Amino acid sequence: MKFTTEKLRQLAKDDSAYEKLLNLFNSFNNNQNGIKLGRIKDRISSNNLDAYFWSREFIDGQKVVNFTDSVVRITGYTVEEIIKKPGRMLAFISEEDISKVKSEMIEFESDPNKGSLVLEYRIIRNDGDIIWVKEFLSVIRDEKGKVLKYNSFVQDITAIKEKESELNKKIELLQEINSQKDRFISIVSHDLRSPFTSLLGFSEILINEPDLPEEMKSEYLGYIYEASQTQLQMINYLLDWSRLQTGRLTIEPCRLSVLNLVNNCVSVLTGNLIKKHIEIKVDVPDNLFINADERLINQSVQNILSNAIKFTPNNKKIFVSANTFKEGLIEITVKDEGIGISEENQEKLFKIDKKLSLVGTNGEKGSGLGLTLVKEIIEKHHGEIWFYSKFGEGSEFHFTMPTAKNTVIVVEENKEAYKKYESIIQEVLPHFEIIQSSTGYEAIRLILHDPPSMIISDHNMSLMNGIQLVEAVRKKEINREIPIIIVSETFNDELLLKYKRLNVNSVIRKPIKEEDLIYHIESSVL
């Protein structure tokens, strides 16, 4: 048997080269038309193949072994070095594969009916690197089946093996994710049905027994309300998680103050804190900004804080802090003096197929899906989340978010005026990048592509005035909170009112006083 067309086609760059190689090898194997090894060498060289050819036969009682020069490119050894080596190429095969190769060769050579063999194994190059090769071996036998001649083509398949390994890892990961989802659906389907027992049971009592005492009615309505809240929370978490998984929930990052973010979340949960007399201490610098989707990151921080409140006994404390983690990342930490998490339950956190739902210190209930969604949100922002916890002593959750890029877009046609703004901004905001835009249209393109930390714009511009610029910017939700300073030679009450309605931070009259601009920059950004 000769090399199959499928095998040889992999070794040639195009069909014409493949056809020529096929004809040459068939002719060489059959020793037709005086085909010489030199022609094989030329063909390999001209097609720049990561492969080499070797042959072995007995001529006048002498063993003759030939290699194409391309063996140096594959193995790092010259033909002379290989021929002098005891065992030749067998000496370079890795220990993991040598026994298998020898076994297959012995079996192949001893079977008179076999004419070809395909081997895959690793070899150790001269420089110590290990590479994968695929060998297509073909033999010519006499009438008794004894091998007279070996012809072999050896191809470097390291890149193919690496891709194959990557693909197998991805397949394994997808299979595991699919298995997790199956287990998750099984768990959630049960949890989605369970609250309806309470909802339907208590509703039926209220409908069928109108003479119930008011106290019992209120109690039953409380059960219905609590079960409904849990059910709605679970459904919302499931919808958000599903949208994140399928890419249907678009993440729209914007520049957010970490201190404002934390304060907003604490404000939402103030009622829960008061009920349990829990004191919350916030230690967050006012100059930390992250680049994140406001709704999703608010949801994440609220969930972590809510869990801390849920599992912290009355009259204890919760601590929230934030600081630079490393270049490009901000770390936010929520630490509580709660009951902690047992080692058994620690393994279940963040895992979709091991939903963990525990009752809080005052009987608070949850969906058990919150932290799974939090992890998904944080990872979608290219951050990480981790925790430390000791049962009976409390928990500490950490997560990272990308730092917001600090940029100021200055919309000013006059170069001298721009230089003045640039000098003042560099003095107040030394680490900020300053971008000049000479027209409102150019500024809108820059802002919509990458929202800045602040915008300073002249009101009187050619083609577009400041009102039109701000209206275009504010149309997009994530740009609603960008600080904007407008500079104008003249303005009246009507103009000031329009800018106020567009949530513009300041309107400054020209010529600008340096101390005025510094004041408005500091009050807008810092």
Task: Break the chain into its structural domains and give their ranges.
Answer: 5-156, 180-249, 252-404, 407-525
CATH topology of domain 5-156: Beta-Lactamase (3.30.450)
- Identify the residue with better confidence: 425 or 21: 425
Contact status, residue 320 vs residue 333, Cβ threshold 8 Å: yes
The pLDDT tens digits of the residues spanning 319-366 come to 999 999 888 899 999 999 988 888 888 777 776 655 556 666 766 655
pLDDT-derived band of residue 417, with 50, 70 and 90 as boundaries?
A: confident
Beta bridge partner(s), residue 402: 329
Give the span between the Cα atoms of 32 and 487, in whole angstroms.
89
For residue 325, the SS3 value is strand
Q: Spell out the CATH class of 407-525.
A: alpha beta
**pLDDT for the residue 191:** 61
Mean pLDDT of 23-32: 49
DSSP string, 76-97: S--HHHHHHSTTGGGGGB-HHH
Distance of CA 39 to the CA centre of its chain: 50
Share of the chain above pLDDT 90, in %: 17
Give the span between the Cα atoms of 85 and 123, in whole angstroms.
14
CATH 1.10.287.130 fits 180-249, yes or no: yes
pLDDT-derived band of residue 19, with 50, 70 and 90 as boundaries?
A: very low
Residues 6 or more apart in contact with residue 266 via CB below 8 angstroms: 273, 280, 282, 305, 320
pTM tops 0.75, yes or no: no
Mean pLDDT of 408-427: 86
The pLDDT tens digits of the residues spanning 469-514 come to 888 888 877 777 788 998 888 888 888 888 888 888 888 888 878 8
For residue 180, the SS3 value is helix
**pLDDT for the residue 512:** 79
Contact status, residue 339 vs residue 309, Cβ threshold 8 Å: no
Query: Cα dist. 176→9, 154, 181 in Å?
Result: 36, 36, 9
| pLDDT above 60: residue 400 | yes
Give the span between the Cα atoms of 54 and 92, in whole angstroms.
15
Q: Chain-wide mean pLDDT for the chain?
A: 81
Residues 6 or more apart in contact with residue 261 via CB below 8 angstroms: 290, 297, 298, 301
Q: What is the dihedral of CA 32, 35, 41, 46, to 10 degrees?
A: -90
Beta bridge partner(s), residue 395: 389
Give the span between the Cα atoms of 431 and 246, in whole angstroms.
38
Mean pLDDT of 82-88: 80
Contact status, residue 459 vs residue 411, Cβ threshold 8 Å: no
The pLDDT tens digits of the residues spanning 41-70 come to 555 554 556 788 888 887 877 788 888 888
**pLDDT for the residue 520:** 83
Max Cα distance, the chain (Å): 116
Give the span between the Cα atoms of 52 and 57, in whole angstroms.
17
pLDDT-derived band of residue 122, with 50, 70 and 90 as boundaries?
A: very high
- Identify the residue with better confidence: 34 or 111: 111
Mean pLDDT check: name the lowest of 25-39, 143-157, 368-382, 500-514: 25-39
Beta bridge partner(s), residue 150: 56, 139
CATH topology of domain 252-404: Heat Shock Protein 90 (3.30.565)
